[in-house]
Amino acid sequence: MATDRDCYHCGLPIPQGLDLTVEIDGQPRAMCCAGCQAVAQAIVANGLTDYYQHRNALPESPRAALPPELQELGLFDHPDVQKNFVRPVGEHEREAALILEGITCAACVWLNESHIAKQPGVTAVDINYATRRARVRWDESVTKLSAILEAIQAIGYRAHPYDVTKSEQLAQKERRSAQWRLFVAGFGMMQVMMYAFPVYMADGDMTADIEQLMRWASLLLTLPVMVYSAAPFFANAWRDLRFRRVGMDVPVALGVGSAFLASVWATLTASGEVYFDSVTMFIFSC
């Protein structure tokens, strides 16, 4: 969970002298801004406080997620605007394809689905966690699309008409990042193995100064793999520990981090074994 000095909703530091709280589960919880306070109050008011127990990642701060110009949402009620992402499914029933921004974990999906389903006139809602794509059905004679979008914004998320081009751009960005991490890990692994293999083949016959040179070279090549390629493991592990959970990233981060630190210490003291080749190989394979 967030510390007493962090916002209970988004985890950002609370500005000094600011005293904003929301009662959640019978306890006053500190908030970092009026936006987080409003979002938390909306979640509590709708009986969705279970979100705070089930989430395993922090949401965006409403300072970034909530645009002030809520009146612009009325544009989405115009038929000409809706024709590209809204289709009729009945006499008064409509279905919209939306992209939700700010989704960080499965609890975010649960919160949005529960909150949207409680809105008057909404007949169905389904959100795909992997693609952040949402399908929302509502009775046009009871409510408007702008009211649904405003309800989504009220709990700190952003909804936009589903656009294939934009969705593909986001997917390409994620793939590009993953490919670069894989490339760095693979390149580092191959180079480290080039230095580790002669040491293994020498079987103790290599002079101490040459072996130490090999260790330092391996350390320098492993460092970018740890900092860049393995960054998601450590970020996810820290997130899990903050919420007092143990996911798959926790043992991975502990194992990789321990092996790397032990190898760094062995290099600095010129004693013991180093495992830079195992570390880079494991990160590459994951």
Q: Which of 130-134, 148-152, 246-250 has the lowest mean pLDDT?
A: 246-250
Specify the pLDDT at position 255.
Answer: 94
Q: At 2, is the pLDDT very low, low, confident or very high (cuts 50, 70, 90)?
A: very low
Per-residue pLDDT tens over the stretch 242-269: 767 677 888 999 999 999 999 999 999 9
Specify the pLDDT at position 193.
Answer: 94
Q: Give one DSSP letter per residue of 215-266, joined into a string.
A: HHHHHHHHHHIIIIITHHHHHHHHHHHHTT---THHHHHHHHHHHHHHHHHH
| Alpha helical stretches, state H, 57-163 | 62-65, 79-82, 106-117, 145-154
Identify the helix (H) or strand (E) that includes residue 30. Answer: strand 27-31
Q: Are 250 and 237 in contact (CB under 8 A)?
A: yes
With a cut of 90, say whether residue 205 has pLDDT above it: no
User: How much is the average pLDDT of 172-183?
Assistant: 89
What would the two tokens of residue 164 be? 């294939």
User: How much is the average pLDDT of 30-46?
Assistant: 85
Helix axis angle, 276-285 relative to 249-269, nearest 10°? Answer: 160
Q: Residue 39: is it exposed, middle or buried by C-beta count within 10 angstroms (0-12/13-18/19+)?
A: buried
C-alpha span between 180 and 175 (Å, rounded): 9
